[in-house]
Amino acid sequence: MKMTMRYLTIIVLALALFTISCGKKDQGPQQINGAGATFPFPLYSKWFSEYSKVNPDAKFNYQSIGSGGGIKQITEGTVDFGATDAPMTEEEKKNAETKSGTKIQHIPTVLGAVVLTYNVPGLAVLNLSGENIADIYLGKIKKWNDSKIAADNPDAKLPDKEITVIYRTDGSGTTYIFSDFLASVSPEAKQKIGVSKTAKFEIGQGGKGNEGVTGVVKQIEYSIGYVELIYAIQNKLSYANIKNAEGEFVTPTLESVTKSGEVTLSQMPESLTMSVIGAKGKGAYPIASYTYLLIYQKHKDAEKGKMVKAFLEWALGDGQRFAKELGYSPLPADVSRKALEKVKALN
């Protein structure tokens, strides 16, 4: 009888412990892996650091490898989220969704500017039209004192020096944005360079990532390259005013990038993926873009999925206040609301 009671006690205790353990949620740290765009990397790094104060169990590991790499890794299922400046093509999206067995959602996070940064001693202010930028990257304008550049810079002392063109060598959303702009102002650039994350530049030198292009421009005098605004600011490099659709030479600023988002709001589709290149409006900077996080509609790991969802809700809310200090424009209120609706619908 004593043995029977002992066994019954052990069974009851075991069942109780099992019930308690099943009712517990995993409270331990989770490493959330992401990869992709270098364009928003400075902001994302700030977000991950700040969010760890909100939820110490969420540990983010983000590899800044370019938009092409972000799309590739979310397609292969090796990350919990991807990041890209160029929306996935229909073919890329279909491939990723077939492999993952769930939809891939594009969540816009902020707006940013691609700038033409240059290293020309003594040249503090530079105005460039889209046509002249295209001709520089096509190799048709070879010197800084070319008459076409001089016409837009009558007060500048332009040197009689060869222009060294710098471009991205990796699959890049920044290249997609820049090549989209070139194609919008030059049929020849559209044909010869194309609109792609891996656009074909026939002249110049390459750099990997926004970091790489910034580094090369910094090293080589009389060079010019395209990077996200914050990279030029952090490296104390000059960047050009760009002629917009209204004929104004506009400096890339928070205000001019925000303006590009505002004047195109009525064109925003349900997918929340759109180009704001060449936005028509006074004061609108013409080489601006949304950047996106690529998210599984249903994450294969439920706990990680919950953490990614909670992070996105924070990033689209409180996290937006960190955008301006790093040179990015917060999302327009209407876009932010629609993005949050998408996030709340994630499984």
Instruction: Check whether residue 120 and residue 263 sit in a common domain.
Output: yes
Average pLDDT score over the chain: 92
Residue 319: which CATH number? 3.40.190.10
pLDDT band at 30; cut points 50, 70, 90: confident
Based on the number of CB atoms within 10 Å of its own CB, is 6 exposed (0-12), middle (13-18) or buried (19 or more)? exposed
Q: Is residue 183 part of a domain?
A: yes
Domain count across the chain:
2
Q: Is residue 169 part of a domain?
A: yes
20, pLDDT greater than 80: no
- pLDDT given at position 17: 43
**Residues forming beta bridges with residue 238, ordered by sequence position:** 118
Mean pLDDT of 234-262: 96
23, pLDDT greater than 50: no
Distance CA 112, CA 104 (A): 23
Mean pLDDT of 78-90: 96
Rg of the chain on CA atoms, in Å: 24
Distance CA 309, CA 137 (A): 41
Closest by Cα among 216, 223, 37, 218 to 114:
37
- Tell me the residue range of the domain where 82 lies: 31-110+289-344
- pLDDT given at position 16: 43
Closest by Cα among 19, 30, 227 to 119:
227
Q: Is residue 315 part of a domain?
A: yes
12, pLDDT greater than 50: no
Whether the CB-CB separation of 277 and 180 falls below 8 Å is answered with yes
- pLDDT given at position 22: 43
Q: Is residue 275 part of a domain?
A: no
Return the beta strands (E) in the chain as ranges. 30-36, 58-64, 81-84, 104-119, 127-128, 164-168, 205-207, 223-228, 238-239, 241-243, 249-250, 288-296
Number of other residues whose CB lies within 10 A of the CB of residue 332: 17
Instruction: Check whether residue 223 and residue 309 sit in a common domain.
Output: no
Instruction: Check whether residue 260 and residue 340 sit in a common domain.
Output: no
Instruction: Check whether residue 216 and residue 146 sit in a common domain.
Output: yes
Distance CA 65, CA 272 (A): 24
Instruction: Identify the H or E element spanning 233.
Output: helix 229-234
- pLDDT given at position 28: 65
Q: Is residue 12 part of a domain?
A: no
Domain boundary pick from 232, 267, 302: 267
Q: Is residue 337 part of a domain?
A: yes
Instruction: Check whether residue 123 and residue 261 sit in a common domain.
Output: yes
Closest by Cα among 105, 81, 108 to 93:
105
At 184-211, the pLDDT tens digits run 999 999 999 999 999 999 999 999 999 9
**18-22, 137-141, 323-327: which range is least confident on average?**
18-22
Question: How far is CA 11 from its chain centroid?
Answer: 56
Whether the CB-CB separation of 86 and 92 falls below 8 Å is answered with no
pTM for this model (two decimals): 0.86
Q: Is residue 2 part of a domain?
A: no
Instruction: Check whether residue 230 and residue 146 sit in a common domain.
Output: yes
- pLDDT given at position 29: 79
pLDDT band at 31; cut points 50, 70, 90: very high
Instruction: Check whether residue 46 and residue 102 sit in a common domain.
Output: yes
**Residues forming beta bridges with residue 241, ordered by sequence position:** 127
- pLDDT given at position 156: 96
